[in-house]
Amino acid sequence: MLNLRCALRSAALLRAPAAAAAQSGALPSSGLQRHAGLATGPQQKQSTFYELRTYNIRPDQTTAFLKLTNEKIHLRTAHSELLGYWNVEYGALNQVFHIWKYDSYSQRAGVRAALAQDPSWVSDYLSKAIPMLTSQDNAVAYLVPWCTLRRPPQEGGVFELVSFRMRPGGPAVWGHSFQAALTSHDASGYGKLLGAFHNEYGQMNTVHALWWFENADKRAELRQKAHNDARVVAAVRESVAHLDSQTARLMYACPFSPMK
């Protein structure tokens, strides 16, 4: 299922010379500059990708949609792997967010074709769910090369999805500073980083960080502490020089979500 260990580097390692990082296996051994540590090239050689889906629900149908999905999600997960399914509490209203894993684009095409021919999926779920929605959106993303997926340390808690729209130029320009900003929070205990993703399709120059906290109040407490941590402030200050905008959504895992 998931590789639950996250290969995050410490802040000291992040600033080590590229040659030393290459020797440790963090970077290709060719003469790459330090910014290549978050280049999408090495990651895209792996065919695995993640589809990030956002559904906006009619306000009077949110409860009914969640109930129907809870009862029928097995019809969908019979075809491909669901990583997580969340109900957004803050940052959007009447919205759900979910992540699906695919080994290749051909696998996804096969899954979509099979779903279209699955009478139970079409009649028992799709035909009922679609009228409850006002819009759907998806993006295809890869995990950034320096991070693998982790599960939360315990069930429960809250999840935060922070999406960053970076200035054009790609990871070769902003990758190192973005990595340093995220890992400075994670390594210091200001949240549990579960995964970091870089869009391939959808809004370009966009990266996402999925975090876990014990509860919303703990998240607020840790955020305040991070604002007073000079190491975090320095790392974030370098990263925001490449940032155009960002959004955040606080979410609760649905009962049927594998990640919760």
pLDDT tens string 78-96: 999 999 999 999 999 999 9
- So what's the pLDDT on residue 46? 73
Q: What is the mean pLDDT of the chain?
A: 86
CA dihedral 212, 90, 183, 176 (to 10 degrees): 140
170 pLDDT band (50/70/90 cuts)?
confident
Phi, then psi, of 105 in degrees rounded to 5: -70, -30
- How much is the pTM? 0.83
Q: What is the DSSP letter of 248?
A: E
Q: How far apart are CA 145 and CA 235, in angstroms?
A: 19
Q: Say if residue 14 is exposed, middle or buried (CB neighbours under 10 Å; 0-12, 13-18, 19+).
A: buried
Spans of all domains in the chain: 49-253
pLDDT digit string (tens) for 150-162? 999 999 999 999 9
Provide the token pair at 124.
């028992």
- So what's the pLDDT on residue 87? 98
Q: How far apart are CA 223 and CA 230, in angstroms?
A: 13
- So what's the pLDDT on residue 2? 42
pLDDT digit string (tens) for 27-43? 333 333 333 334 444 44
Q: Are 169 and 242 in contact (CB under 8 A)?
A: yes
User: 187 or 27, which is more confident?
Assistant: 187
pLDDT digit string (tens) for 8-65? 333 333 333 333 333 333 333 333 333 333 444 444 567 899 999 999 999 999 999 9
Q: Say if residue 101 is exposed, middle or buried (CB neighbours under 10 Å; 0-12, 13-18, 19+).
A: middle
Strand partners for 57: 133
User: Which numeric CATH code is attached to 49-253?
Assistant: 3.30.70.100
Q: How far apart are CA 150 and CA 143, in angstroms?
A: 12
Q: How far apart are CA 51 and CA 55, in angstroms?
A: 13
List, in sequence order, the alpha helices (H) in the chain: 11-14, 18-24, 40-44, 62-77, 105-116, 119-120, 127-129, 171-187, 216-227, 230-240
Q: How far apart are CA 250 and CA 219, in angstroms?
A: 10
Handedness of CA 258, 248, 198, 145 (dihedral sign): negative
Q: How far apart are CA 70 and CA 68, in angstroms?
A: 5
Greatest extent of the chain over all pairs of C-alpha atoms, in Å: 57
Q: How far apart are CA 219 and CA 5, in angstroms?
A: 22
Q: Which of 50-64, 84-98, 116-130, 225-239 has the lowest mean pLDDT?
A: 225-239
- So what's the pLDDT on residue 44? 56
